[in-house]
Every structure is written in structure tokens, then in C-alpha cells.
């Protein structure tokens, strides 16, 4: 595992890039430098050998939000608007536009920006000991990091308002029942579940995955006719790929396909 910084660990093996928030003494709370490094690491994934990203936290938490001691040094607030525009927002946009899947492995607290980094992923797998919280209100803030975009699309306006206005922690099982998460498993099963999912995604046809992700993003913002047109054009690219030829051959030969991402 290589260190992007002492608070963000990154490794890349077999097409799986693992990004780990590494500040366990403070429940992996993040400062602007860590968030900047995360943004850079996501952007690098557009060009390197990454086929799937797993984001997680060291120790007993995913990410408990911003490190308030770092973002308000000496009790004096930083220029948070500039920080959001230049550091956090580009990272979240990169996560959603990356043509490769992102899995959030969540254990313990995912609060504030930590919760919204998880929501920005394509798949969320949580342990039954995980908690999700839009805790901003408790310190006089509104959500950032895309929370006002992601959460109402998952749970509806009224529930999103409640979660943001009250700032309560939501246990993983309850979050799953609301539609926030993909899966909840025991802590003992968490790594095996995430690793199996990452392996499947890393071996899946990359062009098709990219088109699925882009199509869903466009579908959230477009009408049916536009979505159909995007599907028509994207399917053409899939048909011209080597992975499609391999997939058909494997189906006819009754064997497992070996996709190369081409």
C-alpha cells in the first residue's frame, strides 16, 4: 500500500484501487489536504489501470466528517466556499463522472462529508455496525458534498429534510430500508462481500459499465426520449467492442467470458 499522504492510503492491485481514510484517532475525519488528495486520486483513476475503486476508512469508522480543528484553525473559519468549490466539489463530480464503478465499504460512522462521500459512490456496502448522519445542522451548517442532491433522490424530499434538519444518526439497517444502501452485512462478512463485489466489477466489461454509469447519470436529468437516444448511441459503442464479441462467443460456447475492457 502506498501513501498518498499519512491520512489517505492508496493501493492498486488487480485493477482494484483501494482508498482508505487514515485518521482513526479522530474517526477518520478529513482536513482540506486529505480531501484535495482524494480528488487527485479519483482524477488519476481516469487514466491509470483502475477498473474499480473501493473507498473505506481505517479502524472503526468510515469518515466522521470534516476535521473541525483543521478547517477552523484557532477557531477562525477558513474560506469554506473556496474550499468547497476548489477541493470538495471537483472530487464529488469526479466520482460521479468517473467511467469506473466506486464501492463504499462503510463501517462505523459515516457523518457529514463522510456520509456524502459514501452517497457519491455507485454502490454502498455497510456493516451492521455502521451509522449514517447528515450532522451538519448540529454545528450550524447546511449539508455539502452533494448531500442535497443525492439524499432526496434516494429517500425522497420529506425524509431527506428530516435527516438533514435533525441530524440524527441512522443505523445501517434503517438506512438500507430507506433505500440509502445496497447491502448490510455483519462486520465478519464485510470484507469478503466487498472483495467479491470488487472482483466481479473489475472483471466485468469496462465499456458497458461506463455506459451504464453515464446512462444513469443522464437519466436522472433527462426526459425519456433523451435517455432512449443515449442508450441507442451507447449500445452502438458496446456492440463495436471486443468485450461484446467475447461475451457472445463465451455465451455460445457455454464458458465464462474473459473481458479485457476493449
Please indicate whether residue 262 or residue 192 has the higher confidence score (pLDDT). 192
pLDDT above 60: residue 1: no
Domain ranges of the chain: 2-202, 206-253
With beta carbons less than 8 A apart as the criterion, state whether 92 and 201 touch: no
pLDDT above 90: residue 75: no
Cell matching residue 201: 466489477
CB under 8 Å, gap of 24 or more: what pairs does 164-171 form? 164/134, 164/136, 164/137, 165/137, 166/137, 167/133, 167/134, 167/135, 167/136, 167/137, 167/138, 168/133, 169/109, 169/111, 169/131, 169/132, 169/133, 169/135, 170/131, 170/132, 170/133, 171/128, 171/130, 171/131
pTM confidence score: 0.93
Q: Quickly tell me which residue has 435533525 as its cell.
A: 166
Predicted pLDDT at 44 = 97
Fold of 206-253: Lyase 2-enoyl-coa Hydratase; Chain  A, domain 2 (1.10.12)
pLDDT tens readout for residues 117-167: 999 999 999 999 999 999 999 999 999 999 999 999 999 999 999 999 999
Q: Residues 8-28: what's their mean pLDDT?
A: 96
pLDDT tens readout for residues 208-239: 999 999 999 999 988 999 999 988 999 899 99
Predicted pLDDT at 262 = 87
Please indicate whether residue 178 or residue 83 has the higher confidence score (pLDDT). 178
pLDDT above 80: residue 3: no
CATH class of 2-202: alpha beta
pLDDT above 60: residue 33: yes
Q: Of all residues in the chain, what percent carry a pLDDT higher than 70?
A: 95
Q: Of all residues in the chain, what percent carry a pLDDT higher than 90?
A: 86
Amino acid at each position: 500500500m502506498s501513501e498518498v499522504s499519512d491520512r489517505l492510503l492508496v493501493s492498486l492491485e488487480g485493477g482494484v484501487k483501494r482508498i482508505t481514510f487514515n485518521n482513526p484517532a479522530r474517526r477518520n475525519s478529513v482536513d482540506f489536504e486529505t480531501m484535495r488528495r482524494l480528488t487527485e486520486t479519483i482524477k488519476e483513476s481516469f487514466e491509470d489501470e483502475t477498473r474499480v475503486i473501493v473507498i473505506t476508512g481505517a479502524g472503526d469508522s468510515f469518515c466522521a466528517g470534516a476535521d473541525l480543528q483543521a478547517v477552523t484553525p484557532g477557531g477562525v473559519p477558513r474560506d469554506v466556499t473556496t474550499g468547497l468549490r476548489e477541493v470538495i466539489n471537483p472530487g464529488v463530480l469526479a466520482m460521479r463522472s468517473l467511467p469506473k464503478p466506486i464501492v463504499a465499504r462503510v463501517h462505523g460512522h459515516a457523518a457529514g462529508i463522510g456520509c456524502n462521500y459514501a452517497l457519491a459512490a455507485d454502490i454502498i456496502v455497510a456493516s451492521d455496525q455502521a451509522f449514517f448522519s447528515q450532522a451538519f445542522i448540529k454545528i450550524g451548517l447546511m449539508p455539502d458534498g452533494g448531500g442535497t442532491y443525492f439524499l432526496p433522490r434516494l429517500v425522497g424530499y420529506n425524509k431527506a429534510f428530516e435527516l438533514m434538519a435533525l441530524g440524527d444518526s441512522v443505523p445501517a439497517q434503517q438506512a438500507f430500508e430507506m433505500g440509502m444502501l445496497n447491502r448490510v452485512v455483519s462486520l465478519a462478512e464485510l470484507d469478503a462481500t466487498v472483495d467479491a463485489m470488487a472482483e466481479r466489477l473489475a472483471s466485468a466489461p469496462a465499456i458497458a459499465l461506463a455506459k451504464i454509469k453515464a446512462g444513469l447519470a443522464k437519466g436522472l436529468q433527462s426526459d425519456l426520449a433523451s435517455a432512449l437516444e443515449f442508450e441507442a448511441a451507447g449500445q452502438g459503442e458496446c456492440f463495436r467492442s471486443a468485450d461484446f464479441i467475447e461475451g457472445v462467443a463465451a455465451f455460445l460456447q457455454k464458458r465464462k467470458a474473459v473481458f479485457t475492457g476493449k
